[in-house]
Each structure stands twice: as structure tokens, then as C-alpha cells.
Structure 1
Amino acid sequence: MSEGSFADASTIGIKKRNSSEPVARLVPALTLVSHPMAHRVGERLLMEGVLSGRPVELSRNAPDFQRPDAVLGTPLADPFLSRKPVVFSQGSGGGVRLAPGDGIKVALAGEPLREPWEFSPEELSVGVVLELAERVVVLLHWADPSTRTAVDALGMVGTSAGIEQVRHHIEQVADLNVPVLVRGETGSGKELIARGIHQRSQRRDQAFVSVNMGAIPKELAPAELFGATKGAFTGSVKDREGFFGAAHDGSLFLDEVGEAPPEVQVMLLRVLETGEIFPVGERTPVKVDVRLIAATDAQLEQQIQDGRFKAPLLHRLAGYEIRVPPLRERREDIGLLFHHFAREELEAIGEAWRLKPEDASTEPWLPAPLASRLVRFGWPGNIRQLRNITRQLIIGSRGHPRLRLDPRLEKELDSSLQPRPGRPVAPAAPDVRVEAKPPTAAAKPPAEPKSSAARRKASDISETELLAALRGCAWDLKAAADRLGVPRSSIYDLIDKSPHIRTAGDLSVEEITRCFQECTGDLDAMAQRLEVSKRALGRRIKELGLGSGES
């Protein structure tokens, strides 16, 4: 499995987070994160005209989305999207304004967007996740129009300006013999960059040796790296080649180089300066020809100040430096990476057909609320964490038509979600402002008018809002319908369309029986624990002969 990565924004002129300076050569863009036709993920719509005052109207039928390496494109073409457009236009301060109007239903951070909304340049740098008609998810962000590929021969996945710059870095330095230092958070794909440098170098037909310095016991590190002669230490019964010897004429990748003990740092500095190593127990130097590529997630400058790392070694290692930003700063690549890993997992279990739907009216295999969660998540473990969560989702959803999020993963993904970005263009109506204001400890939320039941459309209600209402009403569907302001019949339709909400019919006999015993037959407690309709659960209990149930 491969891990995509890309360079720090400062190396390519992309506006950094917390920077207010405009970026002239980047343009607003929409990138597909999730679509019923899964192969379309990663396609984008460049909106060059927005910042010069030419609005872009987005509907089911226009304009075209396309991959960076494609000549022709295709509109969203989802028959459930409206023909009436939503409009993206120039906002104040160099941002982008979105006007939903009567067009496609747009949700922002799980909440329906009913009024014009404005996103600042900084928010576009982070990326704004938009759900369209609860089926298609796009990311609004800055994009480099010069990007020309999505997946390259090195296995790096992404269409972002940053990953394109990493590809450029590799091409620039690969054929040189200078050492390279790759810096970035853990799990961000540093080894993939090192392999890319090796594969593009003149040493591509020789060995590539990968070593994790943090996994080698400090007392064994000199022998493991530089080799040892027979009898050099207790247990040394034969000559040991060492990693430098194994990588002769090839490339040696030292991950977590900041973990190297002091004596090893001295030896590394010598081999970088002279091309010679001293195997443990050997007094005669041995010449080696090795291209050294190192990586770290540590602040080596701080370690130098603390006396734990040698400044001359850092200067030698960083003959050329590549910085890898974390996944949370490259949200436009998350959809492509997720589907890349998903394809590998689905092929392993024989279900690759799930990513090949026949028409755009198919229910999305990756539901929009889940896709939005994935993009808005903070990803402290970066690409490695994304790959692991993808595997969990695929395996946990075997036998189901769509991906399902179990409570543990839901809790993990909800732990660091990006807040709802932007601000309304015009002040909200007074009643909306009152409802949106957080209640104080002494205040009670305003009561809903009895006539509110017919004021809302079911399509305006997100899964998050539906679930909150059901939980708040102890899974009484009629009460939840009243709270949401929709007919009771709409609640059934909403539950049926929600990938993460079960019905009583989805429960196994064993699950119901066990819960009945643990809750001593208390129907209210069972409904809240199993999170299903109380009435429907009562009927299942009665059918199973566990109790009288509830009609």
C-alpha cells in the first residue's frame, strides 16, 4: 500500500494558514470527495473567473469537472441534484461567496445552508466541505491549475499543488548524490518520498535499505548500522555486514534519525564526510558508496539546543530538504487517498465491484455524511491513520450495501472535527438568531410553535440533526417528527436513507434477547441502548415471545 504526501506550503508559494496575503497563482476550485460514480472522486472544477468578478453557476448539468490529466470533463450528472444552480461568486476580502438560492440543497458541517454564506481566503486554505443533496461531497479550496496528474508511477496519490511540488522536488534531486532530509509528522508518507528518490536515481537497480532508528536498541545501533567483526562483542560469532554494507552502491533510508544515540551520530557524520565506516571491532576503515536519505518528525533544532543532536550532522544530512505537511493541510487529497486504500482492501476481500456502479442514480457507497466527516477530521496519525480507518470501515461493512460507521469509529472521527467555517453574508432573521444562540444554564430553549410540523422539508434535515432529535426524544418517532417539524411519515423515509441509523428489523434475535435480559425487559432502556424506534422494538419483542411489547 502506498502513502501520498506533499510539500510544505511555504516551498511553493501557497498561502500558509493564518496568513492574510493573497495568492495570485492559485484559484478557487471544487474537488469531488464523494460521488455515486466512485471513479470520479478527485475530479475538480477550477473557478478562475470568481476572483475577477465572474460568478460560477453549479447545477446537475454544468459546468464540467475533470481530472488534471484529462482533456474532457463531465458535469455532476447526479439525477437527484437540482437543475437550478447554486452560485459561487467573489466575496469580500478575496474570499468566495456561496448563494444556495432554490438550487441544489447544500449542507455545511452537517447543517443545511439556507442563506448566502461567505468563506475567507484562510478558510479556503484549510478547505471547506460541502454536501450537495446528501449525495455528493465537494471540497472548496485553493488549487494550482498547473497540476497535471492524480496518481503517478511512484505511487503517490493526490491532485493538490503540494504533492505536485514533491514530485518536482524528487525530479530535482534524484540524480544527485547529495543526502536528503525529509521532515514531517509521523505517518505522513516520508518513506514513500525516499523510495521515490531512489527509483528516480541512477541507483534504482541497486539496493534500497530502510532502517527505523527508533526500533534499534541503542547498544546495538553501531553494529547494526556499520557492521561488526567476529568476536567484537559477546555473542558476535561471525562477521556482520551492517546496513551501510548492505546498501553499498544503493540508497540507505534512516527513519527517525533524531533517535540516533550520540556515538552513532559521530559515526554518521564521519561517513557523510569521508565515505568511510569503521565496523565494530575493526581498526581499518571500509569505503562505502551509499546515498543517504534521512527522515524525522522531531524538532532537531531544539534537540541541538538541548545537547541531544549534533548541529554539524544536521547540516550534513540536510543537503537537500523536503518538508511534508500533515494530512489535515491537504484535504483535497483525502477523497482520492481513501478510495485508493479502499480499492486495495476491497480487492483483498473480493468486493472491488462496489467501486464500479453502473449509473449515477446509484446510492453512494460512501455516504455523504461519512465522507464529510473524513475530510473534516484532524488526522493526527496522517495517512497511516487514514489507511487504518479505511480498513476498519471496509471490514466492518462487509455484507452491507454501503459503508457503515460503528460507534467506536464514530467517536474517534468526532474527536477533532473542523468547525463550521464561514459566516452569513446578511444578518440572520431574529427567530433564527434566537434558536441558534446557545442556552445559558438558567435559560430554557424556546418552545417550538405547534404549527411548525409542516414548515420544513425532509430533504433539509441532515442525518446528524435526525439522530440528535431521535436521541433527545428517547426514540419516540412521533415526538422526533414534531421536534424536527416534519410529518411522521417523513421520519421513516429519513431513517431508511440514513446509513448510520438502524431499524428494529436490523437487529438480530441474539442482540434483542441479550439486551432484554440486561435491561430486565425495560422497553425505554432497551430503545435508548439499541437506538431504534420504541414501538417497532416492542413489536419485535412481542414476536419473539419475550414480553407483551407495545402496540
Structure 2
Amino acid sequence: MDDSSREGNMADVSTMGVRERASEQQRARVVPALTLVSHAMAHRVGERLLLEPLVLGREVALSRNLPDFQRPGTSLGLPLADPFLSRKPLVFSPASEEGLRLNPGEGSTVSIAGMPLSGPWEFTREEVAAGIPLELAGRVVVLLHLADLSLAEMGDTLGMVGVGAGVQRVRRHIEQVADLNVPVLVRGETGSGKELIARAIHQRSKRRDKAFISVNLGAIPKELAAAELFGAHKGAYTGSTRDREGFFRAAHEGTLFLDEVGEAPPEVQVMLLRVLETGEIYPVGAHTPVLTDVRLIAATDAQLEDRIQDGRFKAPLLHRLSGYDLRVPPLRERREDIGLLFHHFAREVLEELGETWRLKPEDPSAEPWLPASLASQLVRYAWPGNIRQLRNLSRQLIIGSRGHPRLRLDPRLEQDLEAETMVRPGRPAVLSPMPTPEPKTPARRKASDVAEGELLSALRACAWDLKATADRLGIPRSSIYDLIDKSPHLRTAGDLSVEELTRCYRECGGDLEAMARRLEVSKRALGRRIKELGLGAQDA
């Protein structure tokens, strides 16, 4: 073998090593973690222990005295320190196929869903991703889950409670779009906090000193919706005895939040499209347009794409509304935040009752105010009503437990919680990830019918996943590449310079999803380009 061949083989080996290390670094950003859900010292709820050694093939021992749990974003921490927990540790260790193994040994009793573990137990990565509440000695509850280390804790919580990956991503999206003047479409299930997101965007926008007007289109009679939104002249319709300003003019130079935008009547959809395109509104009964300057944030819990297929929603309006598409995760995808949210709502109710002392115990050996079995039930519940349902249930629990030293479930509430508990048949201990419904594929159409704006909107909504974008638009995947090539405003990962890629990689901390959003290229192609350049090794 000549020197050139030998050097070539060594280069190939080196490149393979770089790619493998880059892949390992990316995987290491998501690690198993334990988050406190219930503890005798209620102020400690939300503290976390990262099980990073498991990713490196090492064990983690957990006992009363070690290791320390920390609040995300801080450097100081404390051990569990419950005097009823054993000093003998229970041990977490790596298992096959990226799962993990829990061995209680002679340490504290570990129960899941009220069932004690009689010996070692293995959890798959999917089970850990869904979240597993572990009851320790019948007193402390920790949630075993996955934590994303690439999502650094922000100093400003933006008025939102929680430290999990889902709420951190939402905060990042708000920071990215708040100071721009583009319309935002907030998607999420009912009760997931969409109006809170809209208010956070407004408060961090250039319009923060102007009005924020919130309107629920689903609560306005359809025959009055146009007049309520755009105003009306006196006598324009039966019962109109005076001029009506309308919400758009009331929000002039500020922000208008339209909740349940999917419920807008067809004539209102046409008027919304016009104001988004021209900034002009026509009050009902008027013949002269009125200019208005409003930042529009819309929200929906409906699949607007399905409504477009059914003829109930106009496709051009969806494209205009989704200048930036933001998804709010349901509560079942934020299980590490359930303890924090429950105690947040509990504090509000206890302040009304004058009993906030219940959340400030000084004796670590006292019985926890939130019993371990109840805390575990809260985490295992499916929460179809999301945060709104959790707030209502916390109020019901606390008021119903007045005069008692601890919270207790009445039979009706207990039956409700058990009815929607997420468990895997045959695995009584473990939560089952909620199935994600498959999106409906639109009817096939010609690629030439897809405008550049519609293509860009679909790419952003699908996080630059080209297959998902093709399905969303109802065209072959190969046509997506043709459309991108023909557009003077779109590019591929291959068009990016090494300098731009390197700079973006460092600024995003190697987060591939964040890079794809910023550079607006295919995430898969971007990943291949990063591996080819060995950026992970250079950055390290």
C-alpha cells in the first residue's frame, strides 16, 4: 500500500470517528432525569437530578443523603434529606437499547402506581420519555423522565410556570418572534394556555405599552361577529342604535388576540384576509375603508387544514395568519411541570383561605401535605382539559380538604382520575405515551398550483421536514425540491457556506432543530452537512 492510499484510509477512519462523536454529542443532550413532584418541604418541588452518568455507561446511586437535587438554572442543591428514606441507595444503571434499570436493593421502598417493586426493573427509553412517577418510602415522589440539556433555562420565565423541555421551547419561540410585526398562529389543545402565550408575545413586543385586546370568536354570535370585530355604523343592522368601534380599532397600534379563529364565519374570514393584506377594515354599513395598525395573534385548537379540505376555512387566510406557527404542548407532554403547576395553583387558593403556611413546613419528618399516592395519580392522569383542568382540580381538592391536615380525594374525584389514567396493559407500573394522530393528507394537486408564500408557510409549519411539507401541500416530495430550486428566496443545505454553518452551529450550541429553523433548510440535509464537515469535533 502506498503512502497516499494509507493517508486516505486514515482520513476515512478519522472522519468516521468525528461523525460518531458528533452523533454521541447530539444524543447526550437528552439524558434521563429525576424531578421532585412531592416532598414534605413543598418549596423543593421542581428540583431536578440529572442522571448523566447513565449516558456514559455508569451507575447512579440515590439515597437520603446523596446526590443533590438542584433547581434548573442554579448551581446549589440539596439531597432528598427525608428522614424516612433509607441511607442505603437504590441504583440506576444503563440497560439494553438505551433503556435503564432500577434496582431498589435494600434501599427505600419504591412503588409505581401503588405497586411496590419487589426486585430490579427495566424501563425502555420510550417509557422513560413518557414519564414514570416513582414513590419513595410512600412519602417522596420523583418523576423519571428525559431532560433536554440543549434547552438552557431562561432567566425570564415570561409569566409561565415550568422548567420542562416543552415550555422551554415555547419560551424560545416567543423570544424569537415577539419583537417582529408578523402575525402569529398559536396552536394547542383547549386549556393549554394559548392566551398566556399571546400575552407574553405582546409584553415583549414593541407594542407592549399599547392595548392588548382578547376576543373569543367562538363566544360571539355569528351574525354579530363582523360588527364586533370591524365596527358598525348606526342603523347598519337591526338593533344597531349607535356607532360601534369594533375590536380592531380598539386595538389600534396594539395587539389583537383572536381565540378559536377556526370558528370565524366565512364573511369574517374574507374581511380578516383583507385587513391582513392591506391594513384596511370596512365597518359594517360603511363604504369607506379605515386604516388600522394591529398586530394579530390568532389561536386554535382545531386542525385548520382539515377545515380547508371541508370548505369551512379559507387556505389564503391560514397562510396569512401563520406568519409564525407556534405549538403549545399539552400537559401530558409536560409531566415534569405538573408538580410545580399544582403547587402554583394551590398557593393561589391557599392565599384566599389564609392557609399558605401549609406550603411552608419546617419539619422534614412531617407528613407531606400532598400525599405521595395522590401526587403519583396527578402525574399519571391524561389531563384532557390540560392546565385549565389542573387548576380547577387543585381548587376542588383544596376546598374539599378544608379542616384536614393533608389533601384527600373524595370518591368522585378519585374515580375521575382513575378513568383517564395512562397505563400500559401488562405493565402496571409504566405510563404509555399518548398516540399522535396521523395528519390527513390533502388531495393531490399540481406543484405549479403552490405559490411561494404557501410553500414557505408549509415548510415553516413542518419545521423544514420536506416529506411532511409535501404531505401537507398534497404534492409529491420530489416536487418540493423543484419548487425550492425555482424560488429565488429559498435555498438548500448545500447552498450554505462553511462559515455560515460554523457560526450558526456555535450560536445554537449544536441544536439541529434550532439551526434548521434559523437557516430555513431541511433538518435532515443539514444534519448530513454537519456530519460531513465534522463540526461537532471542531466545536469541542
Same fold (TM over 0.5): yes
Normalising by structure 2, report the TM-score: 0.73
Q: CA deviation at 1:108?
A: 1.1
Q: Secondary structure at the match of 1:32?
A: strand
The whole-number CA distance in structure 1 between the counterparts of 2:298 and 2:34 is 36
Q: Structure 1 segments of 4 or more deviating over 2 A?
A: 145-154, 420-424
Name the residue aligned to 2:345: 341
1:383 equivalent in alignment to 2:387: yes
Matched, 1:122 2:126: yes
Q: 2:108 maps to what in 1?
A: 104
Separation in structure 2 between the aligned mates of residue 256 and residue 272 of structure 1, nearest angstrom:
17
Cα distance, 1:147 vs. partner?
4.7
Identify the match of residue 54 of structure 1 among 39, 42, 58.
58
Relative to structure 1, the CA distance from residue 368 to residue 150 in structure 2 (aligned partners, 3 Å threshold; closer, same or farther) is farther
Determine whether 1:356 maps to 2:372: no
CA distance in 1, matches of 2:317, 2:288: 23
Looking at structure 2, the residues matched to 91 and 221 of structure 1 have their Cα atoms a distance apart, in angstroms, of: 58
What are the ranges of 5 or more consecutive residues in structure 2 without an aligned counterpart? Answer: 1-25, 429-540
Q: Hey, what's the Cα distance between the residues in 2 that align with 1:61 and 1:287?
A: 66
Residue 483 of structure 2 corresponds to which residue in structure 1? none
Larger radius of gyration: 1
Is the 8 Å Cα contact of residues 68 and 150 (structure 1) preserved in structure 2?
Answer: no
Residue 81 of structure 2 is aligned to residue 73 of structure 1: no
Supply the distance in 1 between the matched residues of 2:296 and 2:411 (Cα, whole angstroms). 45
More helix by share: 2
Letter in 1 for 2:359: L
Instruction: Tell me if 1:279 matches 2:283.
Output: yes
Instruction: Tell me which amino acid in the other structure corresponds to 2:50.
Output: L
- Of residues 138, 162, 165, the one that matches 2:166 is 162
* Partner of residue 199 from structure 1, selected from 177, 188, 203: 203
Contact 2:104 2:120 in 1 (8 A): yes
Q: 1:348-497 maps to which residues of 2 (within 5 A)?
A: 348-419=352-423
SS state of the match for residue 130, structure 1? Answer: strand
Matches within 5 A, 1:23-34: 23-34=27-38
Shift of 1:145: 2.6
Aligned counterpart for 1:239 among listed residues 231, 240, 243: 243
Give the distance between the partners of 2:154 and 2:79, measured in 1 at CA.
19
Contact 1:229 1:239 in 2 (8 A): yes
Q: Which amino acid aligns with 1:415?
A: A
Amino acid at match of 1:161: A
How far is 1:238 from its partner? 1.3
- Residues 230-289 of structure 1 show CA distances to partners (whole Å, capped at 9, x for unaligned) of 111122111100000110000000000000000000000000000000000101000000
C-alpha distance 422-407 of structure 1, shift in aligned 2 (>3 A)? closer
| Contact 2:157/2:171 (<8 A) preserved | no
Q: Structure 1 residues 346 and 386, CA, compared in 2 at 3 Å: closer, same or farther?
A: same
Distance 1:185 1:162, change over 3 A: same
Contact kept in structure 2, 1:101 and 1:114, CA below 8 Å: no
Paired residue for 1:40, among 26, 39, 44?
A: 44
Alpha carbons of structure 1 residues 370 and 150: separation in structure 2 relative to 1, 3 Å: farther
In 2, are the aligned partners of 1:150 and 1:157 still within 8 Å (CA)? Answer: no
Match of 1:258 among 256, 262, 276: 262
Equivalent AA in structure 2 for residue 312 of structure 1: P
User: What corresponds to 1:87 in structure 2?
Assistant: 91
- CA deviations 1:276-334 (Å, max 9, x no partner) are 00000101000000000000000100100000000000000000011112111110010
Contact residue 108 and residue 420 of structure 1 kept, 8 A: no
Structure 2 residue 307 is matched with structure 1 residue 303 = yes
Distance 1:31 1:321 in 2: 30
Give the distance between the partners of 2:286 and 2:48, measured in 1 at CA: 59
Q: SS of the residue aligned with 2:270?
A: helix
Q: Is the 8 A contact 1:42 1:150 kept in 2?
A: no
Contact persistence 2:46–2:71 (CA under 8 A): yes
Structure 1 residue aligned with 2:451:
none
386-395 or 231-240, which deviates more: 231-240
Q: Residue 109 of structure 1 contacts residue 420 of structure 1 at CA under 8 Å; is this kept in 2?
A: no
Q: Residues 420, 116 of structure 1: CA spacing in aligned structure 2 closer, same or farther, 3 A cutoff? A: farther
Q: 2:231 aligns with which of 227, 233, 245?
A: 227
SS in 2 for 1:292: strand
| Cα-to-partner distance string for 1:314-360 (whole Å, 9 max, x where unaligned) | 00000001111211111001000000000011001100000000021
Give the direction of change, closer, same or farther, for the CA distance of 1:127–1:218 in structure 2 (3 Å limit). Answer: same
CA pair 184-228 structure 1, distance change in 2 beyond 3 A: same
Quote the residue 1:14 is aligned against.
none
How far off is 1:95 after superposition? 1.1
CA contact (8 A) 2:28 2:55 kept: no
AA in 1 matched with 2:366: T
Per-residue CA shift, 1:116-142, capped at 9, x if unaligned? 111111111110110000000000000
Q: Give the deviation of 1:144 after TM superposition.
A: 1.8
Structure 2 counterpart of 1:174: 178
Distance 1:150 1:393, change over 3 A: farther
| Offset of residue 151 of structure 1 | 8.8
Question: Is the contact made by 2:274 and 2:281 (CA closer than 8 Å) also made in structure 1?
Answer: yes
Contact persistence 1:51–1:89 (CA under 8 A):
no
Does 2:194 align with 1:190? yes
Pair 49,108 (structure 1): closer, same or farther in 2 beyond 3 Å = same
Count of paired positions: 403
Note the alpha carbon deviations across 1:415-447, whole angstroms, 9 max, x for none: 1112169969xxxxxxxxxxxxxxxxxxxxxxx
Matched residue SS, 1:370: helix
2:155 & 2:64 partners in 1: Cα distance? 27
Q: CA deviation at 1:146?
A: 4.6
1:327 and 2:367 aligned: no
TM-score normalised by structure 1 residue count = 0.72
Calculate percent identity across the aligned residue pairs.
Answer: 76
Separation of aligned partners in 2, 1:283 and 1:273: 18
C-alpha displacement of 1:399: 1.1
Structure 1 unaligned regions, length at least 5? 1-21, 425-551
- Please give the alpha-carbon distance, in whole angstroms, between the structure 1 residues aligned to 2:60 and 2:236: 72
